[in-house]
Amino acid sequence: MASAIAPAERDQAFILHPFTNLRTHQETGPLVIDRGSGVFVSDMDGNRYLEAMSGLWCTALGFDEPRLAQAAMRQFERLPFYHMFGQKVHEPGIDLAEQLIALAPVPMSKVFFANSGSEANDSAVKLIWYFNNAVGRPKKKKLIARGQAYHGVTVAAASLTGIPINHRAFDLPIANILHTDCPHWYRHAEPGESEEEFATRLAQSLENLILAEGPDTVAAFFAEPVQGAGGVIVPPRTYFEKIQAVLRKYDVLLVADEVICGFGRTGNWWGSQTFDLKPDILTCAKALSSAYLPISAVLVSAPIYAAVEAESSRIGTFGHGFTYSGHPVSAAVALEALSIYRERDITGHVRTLAPRLQDGLRRLADHPLVGEVRGVGLVAGVELVADKARRTPFTPALAVAPKVVALCQKHGLIVRPLGNTIAVSPPLVITAEEIDMLIARLSAALDEAVPVVRDLAA
């Protein structure tokens, strides 16, 4: 029986929302999304929005791809659930693991399945610790991530995340998690410092940290090719080349967090290919199934798997896994998504349209509120500043980016505020005309925000 109470009121009564000011939510209520088509979604009142964040960086194939729904239904009818515990498996899981190994940017050996990017990164942490115990290095357990990194919200993943709001009041980070410099040249370079010089300084800073902690205690370095939720931070020139040289010097594993960048977002299958990363472990999620069902994966190299296998034999089992690891319906949908990416040459489509998005957004750099526009492929960030010449950020209390995002929504555009940055990450199937619409709506919202911001600053 349908409830007589409006959905928004029931939401406020019953749901604890993620990444939400809960007090504000109780005062203003939600936007209730009712349906989707292509790159657009519509609310309960029929208002239509260009969804320029792919939901949460994830709905790569848009909001009404029939082949994904059909793949799910076929698998539901054949085998709606089975697990991978105790030497049991199903064919969709086997097929998906085989394809992921074939697609990997560097040779990988095995795939472990989970359900979210957070779970994948937490699993990578446990695998690294398990691996170093297996090879007789019980002290080599410390993990390094970066300021403004985002690796998830489970306990270990949230500790790796380098964003203060993910730590405050949660008693995080846990022990053995360290952070090094955020590679945001615009925000953190010294006066007159080139991108290459900035990258050299950050690599030296990483080496100094490893030496201070003791190389025999540092196990791994976690990195997103492009730092997504931290503000769409694109690495400066030569950064990963220099960082990886330090990691090799001290036998520190590299974990590539491809949760946002994987499956075409940067114009290649993997962000690791775009920025020439050679990871020992790779985590992925989101676009793996175009977000139609939850699934994530951890790809591990042959040396890591060999040690994990030997240790599981000594213990009697590999004591880690999830009920829904490699869920057959999620795996079937992911397989269909991979087929669509290949058949429609989604990476080629991204490379073709990337200049239109990036150049179009960079034209906004002259706007009085915009300090920097940065991005690659079909992901970008527009950073708002109080003073363009001095690069002075707006104080968080003014909530300037959220106000601009609210104006975008008024203009029929959904984007996301990340500090002072407005993030843009549209479905990979977006067209040239839709990119022009995205930029026009964002530009209109920025123009409308100018007097609002002026009043705030007065």
The CATH number linked to 432 is 3.90.1150.10
% of the chain at pLDDT higher than 70: 99
Order of strands across the sheet with 218-223?
110-114, 296-300, 281-284, 253-257, 218-223, 142-146, 177-180
- Residues 325, 311 within the same domain: yes
- What is the DSSP secondary-structure string of 163-223? -GGGTTTTT-SPTTEEEE----HHHHPPTT--HHHHHHHHHHHHHHHHHHH-GGGEEEEEE
Q: CA-to-CA distance for 21 and 25, rounded, in angstroms? A: 6
**Pairing of β 421-424 and β 416-418:** antiparallel
Asked if residue 16 is part of any domain, the answer here is: no
Asked if residue 94 is part of any domain, the answer here is: yes
Tokens for 27?
């005062």
- Residues 220, 296 within the same domain: yes
Tokens for 397?
């209390």
pLDDT value, residue 4: 82
pLDDT value, residue 336: 98
101: domain CATH number is 3.40.640.10
Q: Which long-range contacts (CB under 8 A, 24 or more apart) does 138-141 make?
A: 139/214, 139/216, 139/217, 140/216, 140/217, 140/218, 140/219, 141/176, 141/217, 141/219
Order of strands across the sheet with 48-51?
33-37, 40-43, 48-51, 413-414
Domain membership of residue 53 as a residue range: 31-64+346-457
- Residues 286, 431 within the same domain: no
pLDDT value, residue 454: 84
C-alpha triplet 82, 18, 416: angle, nearest 5°: 110
Q: CA-to-CA distance for 58 and 413, rounded, in angstroms? A: 17
pLDDT value, residue 169: 97
Of 299, 326, 343, at which residue does a domain stop?
343
Domain count, the chain: 2
Phi, psi of 189 (to 5 degrees): -70, 150
- Residues 358, 409 within the same domain: yes
pLDDT value, residue 417: 97
Of 343, 370, 385, at which residue does a domain stop?
343
- Residues 230, 300 within the same domain: yes
- Residues 208, 259 within the same domain: yes
pLDDT value, residue 457: 73
pLDDT value, residue 274: 98
Cα-based torsion angle of the residue sequence 283, 286, 288, 290 in order, rounded to the nearest 10 degrees: -170
Asked if residue 17 is part of any domain, the answer here is: no
pLDDT value, residue 456: 82
Asked if residue 4 is part of any domain, the answer here is: no
- Residues 112, 191 within the same domain: yes
pLDDT value, residue 3: 79
Check the CA dihedral 134-161-236-52 and report its sign. positive
pLDDT value, residue 120: 98
Please give the helix or strand (H or E) that residue 314 lies within, else none. Answer: helix 302-315
- Residues 51, 94 within the same domain: no
- Residues 103, 153 within the same domain: yes
Asked if residue 25 is part of any domain, the answer here is: no
- Residues 321, 358 within the same domain: no
Of 316, 343, 370, at which residue does a domain stop?
343
Taking 50 as the pLDDT cut, the residues of the chain under it are none
- Residues 312, 240 within the same domain: yes
Asked if residue 285 is part of any domain, the answer here is: yes
Asked if residue 167 is part of any domain, the answer here is: yes
Residue reference for tokens 């590299």: 254
Asked if residue 14 is part of any domain, the answer here is: no
- Residues 113, 182 within the same domain: yes
**CB 435 within 8 Å of CB 357:** yes
